[in-house]
C-alpha cells in the first residue's frame, strides 16, 4: 500500500527526465500528470515495478477540455496484491491528439482506447486495431467533444433534433 506521493517520488527518482506532476481538484482524488510520450514507459514501470504491481487497468476515459483546446485521457489503475490505486492523466493538444497505446501493457486498454478514439478522437499510436467501437465505422465527428454537432443525415436517415425541427417549420 503506497500513497500517491510515495509513488510519485519513486517515479521521479527512477525517471528524472520525465516531467511528472501531482495535480488535484478541490474535491475527489488527486492524479499524476504524465507527458504523452512517457505514458508507455511509466505504465510499464507501474505494472512491473516490485513496489507498485499495478496489475489491472480499471478504467481508461477520454476527455475533452474545450477551454484549453486539449484532449485528455485518464487512466485508473489498481493493484490487487498491494491494494493501492492510482490515477494518471495525459493531456494532448487538439490539433495533434496522439498518445502511445498501452494495449500491450494492460489488455483492458484495447477496447477502452478504441472507445476513447471513437468518442473523443484521440489517436493511440501503436494500437493494433484502432477502429470505432460504439458508433458505426463511417460515423462523422467525435460525439463526446464539447463542440460536437451531430451529422444531420446518416445514410439518408435523419439523426437529430435539427432536421426534425426543420420539418416542423
Partner 1 sequence: MIEAITENGERREMTINMGPQHPSTHGVLRLELVLDGEVITRVKPHIGYLHRCFEKYAEKMDDYAKVIPYTDRMDYVSAMNQEHGYVVAIERMLELEVPERVEYIRVIMAELQRIASHLLGIGAFGLDLGAFTPFLYLFTEREKILDIFEKASGARLLYNYMAVAGLMRDVHPEFKEEVSDFVKTFRPKIKELDDLLSYNQIFIKRTANIGVLPDKVALNYAASGPVLRGSGVKWDLRKNDPYSIYDRFEFEIPVGSGEMGTLGDCWDRYIVRVREMEQSLRIIEQAVDGMPDEGDVMAAIPKRIRPKEGELYARTESPRGELGYYIVSDKSASPFRVKARAPSFVHLSMLPAISSGALIADMVAIVGSIDIVLGEVDR
Q: Would you count residue 27 as binding partner 1 (CB under 8 A)?
A: yes
Shortest spacing between CB 67 and partner 1, in angstroms = 9
Residue 38: helix, strand or coil by DSSP? helix
Count the Cβ atoms, other than its own, within 10 Å of residue 145.
17
Q: Would you count residue 18 as binding partner 1 (CB under 8 A)?
A: no
Number of residues in contact with partner 1, rule: CB under 8 A? 34
**Applying CB under 8 A, which part among 4-12, 58-66, 94-102, 154-162 lies near partner 1?**
58-66
Length in residues, the chain? 169
User: What is the distance between the alpha carbons of residues 141 and 42, in angstroms, rounded to a whole number?
Assistant: 31
Angle, CA of 48, 52 and 54, to the nearest 5° = 70
Among positions 29, 69, 151, 163, the unique one binding partner 1 when judged by CB under 8 A: 29
C-alpha cell at 103: 494495449
Q: Would you count residue 167 as binding partner 1 (CB under 8 A)?
A: no
Q: Would you count residue 133 as binding partner 1 (CB under 8 A)?
A: yes
User: What is the distance between the alpha carbons of residues 38 and 104, in angstroms, rounded to a whole number?
Assistant: 15
Please report, as ranges, the residues that interact with partner 1 according to CB under 8 A. Answer: 24-29, 31, 55-59, 61, 63, 74, 76, 80, 83, 85, 87, 106-108, 110-111, 119, 132-136, 143-144, 146
Amino acid at each position: 500500500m503506497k500513497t500517491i506521493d510515495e509513488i510519485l517520488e519513486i517515479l521521479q527518482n527512477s525517471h528524472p527526465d520525465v516531467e511528472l506532476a501531482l495535480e488535484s481538484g478541490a474535491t475527489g482524488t488527486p492524479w499524476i500528470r504524465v507527458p504523452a510520450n512517457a505514458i508507455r514507459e511509466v505504465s510499464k514501470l507501474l505494472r512491473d515495478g516490485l513496489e507498485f504491481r499495478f496489475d489491472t487497468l480499471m478504467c481508461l476515459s477520454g476527455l475533452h477540455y474545450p477551454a484549453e483546446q486539449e484532449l485528455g485521457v485518464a487512466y485508473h489503475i489498481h493493484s490487487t496484491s498491494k491494494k493501492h490505486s492510482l490515477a494518471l492523466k495525459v493531456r494532448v493538444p487538439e490539433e495533434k491528439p496522439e498518445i502511445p497505446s498501452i494495449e500491450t501493457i494492460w489488455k483492458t486498454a484495447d477496447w477502452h482506447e478504441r472507445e476513447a478514439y471513437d468518442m473523443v478522437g484521440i489517436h493511440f499510436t501503436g494500437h493494433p486495431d484502432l477502429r470505432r467501437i460504439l458508433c458505426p465505422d463511417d460515423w462523422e465527428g467525435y460525439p463526446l467533444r464539447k463542440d460536437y454537432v451531430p451529422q444531420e443525415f446518416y445514410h439518408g436517415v435523419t439523426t437529430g433534433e435539427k432536421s426534425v425541427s426543420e420539418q416542423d417549420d
